[in-house]
Amino acid sequence: MRNVCAAVLAAALLAGAAGCHRVNYTRDDRYEEGLVVCLSGAGGMMGETERIREGLNAGGVGRAIEVFEWSGGGVLTDQTDVEANRRKAHRLATRIEGYTRSHPGRPVHLVGVSAGTGLVVWALERLSEGCEATGAVLIASSLDTKYDLTGALSHVADRVYSFNSVADPVLVWGVTWAGTVDRGGGIAGGLVGFSPPDSASEQTRALYKEKLREISWWPGDVVLGHLGDHLGATNPTYVKTKIAPIILGKEIPGLRPREKEPPADAVKGREQKPATADYAKRLEEKRKAEEAEKAAAKKAAEDALKKAAEEDDAEKTEPEKPADEPEKPPKPKKPDTPKEAVKNDGADRFVDWHVGRKVAPTQETHSSDAARFFREPRRLP
């Protein structure tokens, strides 16, 4: 029982060392690593941004992950009010510019879902000259498939990734009925991907080829929790596997050959220094304290496991007999009764009622009636 308790205690200490607690996605030290801004779809009520946050964190994205609240609460209004959405996109662009000024050289990514992808694209278009985001991710975009992405693509250092699915029922039926978020009236880009406008120049087509990556749903994504539906790509497991690598500048695993191309290193050669020297000092002290705390918890867990193992070994080993302890004398054996003294007349089963004990086979009984009974069992005394 002691060993079981020790093992449970060790597991608890290790879990504590690993940081099993509610994640604070906007801690100060996370902003030193970079920024990811997430936007929900129309209505903002399906929890997609929290799932994206969870998946990114599980995928190793240790940057600040903000949620840009833009929805007014109405699905149809959010999908159709272009002017209001563009004003909100301008606020998002201002937020990106402010962060790039306070944390120069840090990576910045935008992740939008459905109608939120419209605000992502418009915010990128509104960035001032010389300011750019690292990249963007469009999930089930309800922008028109022919919407001109030139302005957005020009303001990303890496690429814009569009996750599409021809099996998306919301884009097939809902957006076809309500119209695309840019009011283009055509097919949603989240269904079949984006194409350059018909009148696009060669420069625009080259920009699309260089900086736009289309990632289409296929049945194998079911194992990652993406069933091809409208919000399937926001499943934390799918986000961890397919979207987190984009944020980290790594190759996306499991892509089909025509999609498989490693992303550009968007922050290669960029200087990444903390915003101020004082903050850098505090951040380093905090990291050292966290490392010391984890090391202490790990050592305590190892000590508990070692102690449990020692107790197991002690229980299995028998204690040695002291040298000065006298040996106990052997118990005397009872003398064997001669076989010839045993009679088969049944007298050894007769109990003397005067003393309450068995009568030895060779002993005379105290009653002549008893002796007569055994000699002549058929006659009563």
Residues 29-79 have pLDDT tens digits of 999 999 999 999 999 989 999 999 999 999 999 999 999 999 998 999 999
Distance (Å, rounded) from C-alpha 23 to C-alpha 63?
A: 12
Beta strands in the chain (DSSP E): 35-39, 64-67, 108-113, 135-139, 160-164, 212-216, 351-352, 357-358
pLDDT value at residue 334: 62
pLDDT value at residue 251: 84
Low-confidence ranges of the chain (pLDDT < 50): 1, 4-5, 8-20, 257-272, 340-343, 345-356, 358-359, 362-366, 381
pLDDT value at residue 374: 57
51 Cβ partners below 8 Å, 6+ apart? 234, 235, 236, 239
CB 165 within 8 A of CB 232: yes
Tell me the per-residue pLDDT of 160-192, one tens digit each, with 9 for 90 and over.
999 999 999 999 999 989 899 999 878 999 999
pLDDT value at residue 226: 97
- For the entire predicted model, the pTM comes to 0.66
Domain ranges of the chain: 33-273, 339-375
pLDDT value at residue 331: 65
Topology (CATH level 3) of domain 33-273? Rossmann fold (3.40.50)
Distance (Å, rounded) from C-alpha 89 to C-alpha 365?
A: 121
Collapse the DSSP code of 39 into the 3-class scheme (helix H, G, I; strand E, B; otherwise coil) and give the result: strand
Collapse the DSSP code of 100 into the 3-class scheme (helix H, G, I; strand E, B; otherwise coil) and give the result: helix
Q: What are the φ and ψ backbone dihedral angles of 274, each rounded to 5 degrees?
A: -60, 155
pLDDT value at residue 322: 57
CB 181 within 8 A of CB 142: yes
DSSP state letters, 112-151: EETTHHHHHHHHHHHPPTT--BSEEEEES--SBTT---HH
